[in-house]
Structure 1
Amino acid sequence: MTLSPSSTAAEVIAHLKSLRNEENVAGMARFGIVTDHALGISNTDLRAIARIIRRNHERALALWDSGIREARLLASYTEEPKKITADQARACAATFNSWEMVDSWSDTFADAGLGPELIPEFIADDREFVRRTGFVMIAWSAVHLKKLPDETFLAFLPVIEAHATDPRNFVKKAVNWALRQIGKRSPGCHGPALALAERLAASEDRTARWIGKDAARELKGRIALRKVGLG
């Protein structure tokens, strides 16, 4: 089947099903990917398909509604950020069941300008993958939303500190990621982020200590210092 920008969701899903790879499905489980509704198609191949079919909001909604792993990821790659609503993002986040789904959609939510409304809400949510979404949105925004002032990200440091003791694997890694990306954003962000990292590194809490040590090691490294013009 030849895909194009005019391909319907049904046509895209039929194409995805034709690419099913059982061996890849088995391998995905080893990386923490939920495979109940997976076809075993790599993200590289999905992104190639996304480049062909391009962005389409209505089709992205239909792909998401299919419940198929690959269709849901493809929906994130081909969604039109300007058309995403906060309620759509909330509904998606409520069903996230893997780190890859969080990480694919968090970029899109942030690009849609939903960060100010949803980041605090998602972080306050106790569900592991919803909370992760909030922190990944911070990490992505720190890198890509360059027009936002540093103060936007410095304001997240107390939130990062408050949740640095959450021991759940996919939360603590996202907290660490957000802290590192804030620290590498600019000279103005680097100092406060490093100070927090060192404070966490001295914590009696095991999770906070791991987050702090890892972040401090990167932020004091030559690459990070050069990135912010301090090395």
Structure 2
Amino acid sequence: MTTTTTPTLAGVMAELASLEDPGIREVNQRHGDDHAVNLTKLRAVAKRVKKNHDFALQLWGTSDSAARLLALLICRPREFTPAQLDAMLREARTRKVHDWLVGYVVMKGPHSEELRVAWLDDADPVVAAAGWALTADRVVKRPEGLDLPGLLDVIEARMASAHERLQWEMNTCLAQIGIENADLRGRALDIGERLGVLRDYPTPPNCTSPFAPEWIGEMVRRKEG
């Protein structure tokens, strides 16, 4: 007979501390993150702890990035209120925590559209970046009702001078509009080429460049096979 041990905050925090690797921290710091735990090992901890929303809230409350990443893996997205998610986003200043919060929790919960609209023009560019990430996701999955030409107008006017994080998500939205909409592809390609955002972004071999004209071209070629 096996017994299940209820995780404790002190125990899990100690385990996360034992998994820290200075080399991982050094690499992550170059990308705007501050945690030092291998993400495969972090996911193994999450698998063992299992879904536990109350415990996720405790982990989030520590303000530790590795603990917050774990919290995002074990929480139940539908149990958050819009106000909770808004507060969490404004606290989530490191890139990985921000991205996982948006991609693993907000996108999977019932409040994604409400928050997309609320965040899209927020004065905080990191919060606005979340709104654009949700918009890019909707362009691909549920474009009905979106003003795609209007989004291109905003991208054309603001992307070149936007904060780095906001610029990245606006560029993603630009690329997805071009990939998914043949009638707007020419304009999306033109905007990307003229603005030149991420044209020189270092891209590993065999990976697709985030430069919108190259990204659009590659994905359209794959779709048309």
TM-score normalized by the length of structure 1: 0.77
1:24 paired residue number: 24
TM-superposed CA distance for 1:174, in Å, is 1.4
Give the whole-Å Cα distance in 2 for the aligned partners of 1:183 and 1:12. Answer: 44
2:134 paired residue number: 137
Give the whole-Å Cα distance in 2 for the aligned partners of 1:26 and 1:209. Answer: 30
2:96 paired residue number: 100
Q: 1:35-114 counterparts in 2 under 5 A?
A: 35=34, 38=35, 40-107=36-103, 108-114=105-111
Name the stretch that deviates more: 84-93 or 212-221.
Answer: 212-221
Letter in 1 for 2:110: G
Q: Is the 8 A contact 1:175 1:211 kept in 2?
A: no
SS of residue in 1 equivalent to 2:107: helix
Name the stretch that deviates more: 10-19 or 103-112.
Answer: 10-19
Q: Does 1:179 align with 2:171?
A: no
Give the whole-Å Cα distance in 1 for the aligned partners of 2:66 and 2:30. Answer: 17
Structure 2: unaligned runs, 5 residues or longer? 200-209
SS of residue in 1 equivalent to 2:196: helix
TM-superposed CA distance for 1:121, in Å, is 1.9
SS of residue in 2 equivalent to 1:116: helix
Aligned length: 210
Give the whole-Å Cα distance in 1 for the aligned partners of 2:128 and 2:102. Answer: 11
Which digits, 9 at most, give the CA deviation of each residue in 1:42-83, with x for residues without a partner? 222212222222222211111110111100111112221111
Give the whole-Å Cα distance in 2 for the aligned partners of 1:23 and 1:200. Answer: 36
Shift in alpha-carbon separation, 1:14–1:161, aligned structure 2, 3 A: same
TM-superposed CA distance for 1:158, in Å, is 4.5
1:11 paired residue number: 11
Letter in 2 for 1:17: A
Letter in 1 for 2:196: R
Which digits, 9 at most, give the CA deviation of each residue in 1:7-61, with x for residues without a partner? 244432222122222333233212221x3xx4x1022221222222222221111
Q: 1:224 aligns with which of 195, 220, 225?
A: 220
Q: Is the 8 A contact 2:177 2:184 kept in 1?
A: no
Q: 2:191 aligns with which of 186, 199, 209?
A: 199
Q: Is the 8 A contact 1:164 1:211 kept in 2?
A: no
Structure 1: unaligned runs, 5 residues or longer? 203-207
TM-score normalized by the length of structure 2: 0.78
1:116 paired residue number: 113
Give the whole-Å Cα distance in 1 for the aligned partners of 2:157 and 2:102. Answer: 21
Give the whole-Å Cα distance in 2 for the aligned partners of 1:198 and 1:5. Answer: 58
Give the whole-Å Cα distance in 1 for the aligned partners of 2:52 and 2:185. Answer: 38
Cα RMSD of the aligned pairs, angstroms, is 2.8
TM-superposed CA distance for 1:91, in Å, is 0.5
